[in-house]
């Protein structure tokens, strides 16, 4: 199923995601390989092919019947991300998804375009994390050969991508009959191997700007382009590895004991997926970041910073230090309490600093923070900038929501471009045990059919109550052609979007756009639960007192009220503003770390 992207009335296309039946590929390997790499790369990957009696056996896997066709490949473009369906060990880390390039490669971490003149693998230039069975200037717009690309996963241990009957980008005076390429890659989790297989190979990727030279690469590289294995470069180097029909190349790792890589980064901000957090206006919360040692060595003294911005304004800036992290270990950095004092868009930016860190790409992550009121709106979007649909109709999108208190949903809002030919379906769905939409737990649904391009409001009648911390989804599914879903690419992004083709999956576009679906809510028992509301105002003694690193200051509010909590030195000078804004009734506690407004540490004394 092909996704169509509308910006005004411009049409684009991307790939589809669907399920497939299970098949497992176990490459047959015999002892005493013949053609092998001259030496492994610095991590320990080596290759062996079937030329001159080499051990791998050619066994083309046809996935055109049970795989997913990759729609939208053109000339020099990338589709994805696509889920591998399992965790695949690659170099010293693991991967679970990839982007598929029209030019004959995949990347596990980048949607950047790898194109002419194809830098020699490995190379630090983006994209990195490449597996390239035949990276050259291929052109899916040359349709006379019926070019196709498919991917397949058994969701257990095997992932395959096939490029079939693809021509090279035309050089001057090059008729269609002179170039044609068919090849595939196979990832096998069982032994961490990567296999390339080659069908018809007509053409040598001649470089049109420099006649007589060629431009293509075959090989793999890691996520920073430092380590890699090059099987063939530019169709000539070495001449004994030029791809041909019936060739199979198997790349396998034998990690070197002395290999060391230093890399600590942010795994998730506020939660494991860096999904946007919905927090009631004025509620005190502690920012958190999940930090992971992605490297191979034990690390110490990792500095983690949290900078919360309100628009462009620096609203909060604190740091924490993790004393030590073993290789592969995770730990939560917990920062002093804060709260959001206005109905605005906040960004929590988390950063790690490690002396000797060798990869900066995961040192920073951003989580959107969205305040809400009761009654109010749960939303991740600011404005609609484009509309998406699925070719052939049907399909849909959803947002996931999770709120720390019980809410009553009263209204469903969505922005659609619709011609009223077919209806649209709006629904609220609870999550299953895996955190995915459970179509057997649809708790509300309605049909709408309007000729409009705008936000529409659907009353949820009777209202639906969602328990505190219950993950749920608000979805729109098209009943046919003529319905396009509004999306917003204004940053920060929620990382909470889902897509529906024939089943729900994490949206391939959640890192570049938000789905225009939001909900009207009230908080259940926000006023009626008197047992949780103090009867008198009080400001309690801080604890501990005296203190060294930090101290907690607690107070009670009878009603919602403006609050100012300030710290003064013994000379009567204000040195710190802890709170300045409106807070809800209830018991409140805030942490003071002993710093002044300028970030400097206070001296010992009485405050």
Query: Any idea what the CATH number is for the domain that residue 306 is in?
Result: 2.60.40.10
Beta bridge partners of 412: 458, 519
- Summarize pLDDT for 471-518 with one digit per residue, the tens: 999 999 988 777 788 999 999 999 999 988 767 877 867 888 999 999
User: Are 353 and 397 within one domain?
Assistant: no
Q: Please tell me whether residue 80 adopts helix, strand or coil conformation.
A: strand
- The number of beta carbons lying within 10 Å of the beta carbon of residue 450 is 14
Q: Does 298 lie in the same domain as 381?
A: no
Domain membership flag for residue 6: no
pLDDT at 300: 96
CATH of the domain at 482: 2.60.120.820
- How many percent of the chain have pLDDT more than 90? 52
pLDDT class of 254 with cuts at 50, 70, 90: confident
Q: Is residue 2 part of a domain?
A: no
Strand 248-253 relative to strand 299-310: parallel, antiparallel, unpaired? unpaired
Contacts of 473 (CB under 8 A, 6+ apart): 398, 399, 400, 401, 428, 429, 430, 431, 437, 498, 504
Q: What Rg, from alpha-carbon coordinates, does the chain have?
A: 28
Within this chain, do residues 231 and 191 fall inside the same structural domain, yes or no?
Answer: yes
What are the b/e assignments for 18-37, b being 16+ CB within 10 Å? eebeeeebebeeeeebebeb
Alpha-carbon distance of 147 to 165, in angstroms, equals 5
Q: Is residue 598 part of a domain?
A: no
**Are the beta carbons of 205 and 181 closer than 8 angstroms?**
no
In a domain, 129, yes or no: yes
DSSP conformation letters of 549-599: S-EEEEEEESS-EEEEEEEE-TTS-EEEEEEEEEE-SEEEEEEE-SB-TTS
**DSSP notation for 159-196:** EEEEEEEEEEPPPTT--GGG-EEEEEEEEETTTTEEEE
Per-residue pLDDT, 24: 46
For 13, 85, 148, 158, the CA distances from 20, given in Å and listed in that order, are 22, 11, 17, 12
Q: Over range 408-428, report the average pLDDT.
A: 90
Domain limit, last residue, from 352, 372, 392? 372
pLDDT tens figures, 235-245:
887 888 999 99
Per-residue pLDDT at 360: 87
Residue 95 to residue 88: CA distance in whole angstroms: 5
For position 251, what pLDDT does the model report? 95
Instruction: Judge whether residue 405 has pLDDT over 60.
Output: yes
Q: Are residues 354 and 402 in the same domain?
A: no
Rounded to whole angstroms, how far apart are CA atoms 307 and 224?
26
Across 143-170, average pLDDT: 95
- Higher pLDDT, residue 383 or 184: 184
Report the largest interatomic distance among the alpha carbons of the chain, rounded to a whole angstrom. 88
Cβ atoms within 10 Å, residue 419: 14
Peptide bond into 238 cis (omega under 30): yes
* In a domain? residue 57: yes
pLDDT of 475 reads 96
Q: What SS3 class is residue 324?
A: strand
Taking only the tens place, the pLDDT of each residue in 66-94 is 999 998 888 888 888 899 999 999 998 88
Classified as helix, coil or strand, 52 is: helix
* pLDDT given for residue 174 in this prediction: 60
pLDDT digits (tens, 9 = 90+) for 321-346: 999 999 889 999 999 999 998 999 99
Residues 536, 504 within the same domain: no
Domain boundary among 315, 345, 372: 372
Closest CA to 519 of 458, 596, 604, 582: 458
pLDDT band at 4 (very low <50, low <70, confident <90, very high): very low
Among the ranges 184-198, 544-558, 573-587, which has the highest mean pLDDT value?
Answer: 184-198
d(C-alpha 555, C-alpha 87), whole Å: 48
Total domains in the fold of the chain? 4
What pLDDT score was predicted for residue 34? 45
Do 282 and 177 have their domain in common?
no
Q: Give yes or no: residues 61 and 181 share one domain.
A: yes
Poorest-pLDDT segment among 109-123, 400-414, 435-449, 525-539: 525-539
Q: Domain range holding 366?
A: 264-372
Domain assignment present for residue 17? The answer is no
Q: 9 pLDDT exceeds 90? A: no
pLDDT of 548: 65
Collect contacts of 601-604 with beta carbons under 8 A, ≥24 apart. 602/569, 602/575, 602/576
Residues 102, 218 within the same domain: yes
Return the top range by mean pLDDT from 5-14, 69-78, 266-275: 266-275
Residue 2 has pLDDT above 50, yes or no: no
What does the pLDDT look like over 531-559, one tens digit per residue? 456 777 878 777 667 766 677 787 888 88
Q: Which of 229, 211, 210, 207 is nearest to 219 (CA)?
A: 229
Average pLDDT, the chain: 85
Confidence of residue 37 (pLDDT cuts 50, 70, 90): low
CB 411 within 8 A of CB 517: no
Q: DSSP secondary-structure letter at 30?
A: -
Residue 80 is predicted with a pLDDT of 84
Query: Exposed/middle/buried for 90, CB within 10 Å: 0-12, 13-18, 19+?
Result: buried
Give, as one character, the DSSP assignment of residue 285: B
Q: Lowest mean pLDDT: which of 38-47, 310-319, 519-528? A: 519-528
Percentage of the chain surpassing pLDDT 70?
Answer: 88
Alpha carbon distances (Å) from 108 to 111, 139, 149: 9, 22, 18
Contact predicate 313/284, CB 8 Å: no
Three-state secondary-structure class, residue 77: coil
Say yes or no: 363 and 390 in one domain.
no
Does residue 558 sit in the same domain as residue 460? no
Residues 247 and 362 in one domain: no
Residue 561 binned pLDDT confidence (cut-offs 50, 70, 90)? confident
Quick one: DSSP state of residue 603? P
DSSP secondary structure string for all residues of 227-267: SEEEEEETTTBSGGG---TT-EEEEEE---TT-----EEEE
Per-residue pLDDT, 13 = 29
Give 143's contacts (C-beta < 8 A, 6+ positions apart).
none
Whether pLDDT at 12 is above 60: no
Provide CB contacts within 8 A for 589, sequence distance 6+.
Answer: 284, 337, 552, 553, 554
Tell me whether residue 21 is in a domain.
Answer: no
At 578 the pLDDT is 84
Of 312, 339, 372, the residue that ends a domain is: 372
pLDDT at residue 8 in the model:
29
Task: Compute the Cα dihedral for 100, 103, 106, 110 and give only its sign.
Answer: negative
Is residue 390 located within the same domain as residue 362?
Answer: no
The residue-averaged pLDDT of 417-439 equals 87
Cis check: omega of the bond before 416, within 30 degrees of 0: no
Distance between the two ends of the chain, CA-based, in angstroms? 65
Q: What is the pLDDT of residue 392?
A: 59
Nearest CA to 463 out of 425, 414, 519, 416 is that of 519
Question: What are the angstrom distances between the C-alpha of 127 and each of 100, 168, 188, 487, 562?
Answer: 12, 21, 23, 26, 50
Q: Which helix (H) or strand (E) holds 201?
A: strand 193-202
Q: What is the pLDDT of residues 274-304, one digit of tens each?
A: 999 999 999 999 999 999 998 889 999 999 9
Question: What's the pTM value of the predicted model, to 2 decimals?
Answer: 0.66
Judge whether 14 lies within some domain.
no
């Amino acid at each position: 199923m092909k996704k169509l992207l509308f910006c005004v009335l411009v049409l684009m296309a991307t790939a589809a995601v669907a399920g497939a039946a299970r098949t497992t590929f176990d490459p047959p390997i015999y002892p005493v390989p013949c053609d092998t790499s001259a030496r492994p790369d610095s991590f320990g990957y080596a290759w062996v092919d079937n030329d001159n009696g080499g051990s791998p056996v050619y066994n083309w896997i046809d996935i055109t019947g049970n795989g997913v066709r990759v729609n939208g490949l053109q000339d020099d473009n990338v589709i994805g991300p696509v889920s591998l369906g399992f965790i695949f060990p690659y170099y010293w880390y693991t991967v679970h998804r990839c982007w598929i390039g029209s030019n004959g490669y995949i990347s596990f971490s980048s949607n950047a375009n790898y194109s002419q003149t194809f830098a020699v693998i490995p190379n630090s230039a983006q994209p990195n994390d490449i597996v390239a069975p035949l990276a050259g200037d291929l052109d899916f717009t040359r349709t006379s050969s019926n070019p196709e690309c498919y991917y397949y996963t058994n969701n257990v241990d095997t992932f395959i991508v096939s490029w079939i009957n693809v021509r090279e980008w035309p050089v001057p005076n090059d008729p269609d009959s002179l170039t044609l390429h068919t090849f595939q890659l196979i990832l096998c989790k069982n032994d961490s191997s990567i296999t390339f297989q080659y069908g018809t190979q007509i053409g040598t990727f001649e470089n049109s700007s420099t006649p007589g030279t060629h431009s293509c690469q075959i090989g793999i590289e890691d996520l920073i382009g430092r380590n890699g294995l090059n099987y063939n470069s530019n169709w000539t180097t070495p001449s004994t590895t030029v791809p041909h029909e019936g060739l199979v190349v198997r790349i396998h790792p034998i990690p070197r004991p002395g290999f060391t890589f230093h890399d600590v980064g942010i795994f998730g901000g506020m939660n494991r997926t860096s999904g946007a957090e919905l927090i009631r206006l004025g509620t005190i919360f502690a920012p958190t970041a999940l930090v992971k040692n992605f490297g191979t060595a034990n690390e110490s003294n990792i500095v983690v910073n949290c900078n919360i911005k309100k628009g462009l304004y620096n609203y909060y800036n604190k740091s924490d230090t993790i004393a030590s992290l073993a290789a592969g270990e995770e730990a939560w950095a917990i920062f002093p309490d804060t709260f959001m004092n206005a109905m605005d868009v906040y960004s929590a930016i988390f950063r790690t600093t490690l002396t000797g860190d060798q990869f900066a790409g995961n040192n920073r992550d951003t989580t959107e923070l969205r305040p809400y009121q009761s009654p109010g709106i749960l939303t991740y979007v600011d404005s609609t900038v484009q509309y998406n649909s699925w070719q052939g109709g049907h399909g849909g999108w959803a947002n996931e929501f999770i709120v720390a208190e019980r809410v009553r949903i009263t209204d469903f809002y969505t922005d659609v471009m619709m011609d009223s030919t077919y209806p649209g379906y709006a629904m609220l769905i609870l999550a299953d045990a895996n955190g995915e939409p459970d179509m057997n737990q649809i708790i509300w649904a309605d049909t709408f059919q309007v000729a409009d391009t705008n936000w529409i409001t659907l009353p949820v009648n009777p209202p639906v109550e969602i328990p505190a911390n219950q993950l749920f989804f608000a979805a729109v599914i098209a009943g046919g052609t003529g319905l396009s879903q509004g999306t917003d690419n204004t940053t920060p992004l929620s990382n909470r979007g889902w897509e529906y083709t024939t089943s729900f999956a994490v949206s391939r576009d959640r890192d570049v756009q938000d789905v225009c679906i939001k909900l009207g809510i009230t908080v259940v028992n926000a006023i009626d639960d008197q047992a949780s509301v103090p009867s008198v105002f009080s400001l309690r003694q801080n604890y501990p007192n005296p203190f060294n690193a930090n101290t907690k200051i607690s107070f009670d509010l009878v009603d919602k009220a403006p609050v100012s909590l300030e710290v003064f030195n013994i000379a009567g000078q204000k040195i710190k503003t802890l709170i300045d804004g409106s807070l809800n009734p209830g018991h409140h506690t805030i942490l003071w770390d002993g710093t002044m407004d300028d970030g400097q540490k206070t001296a010992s004394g009485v405050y």
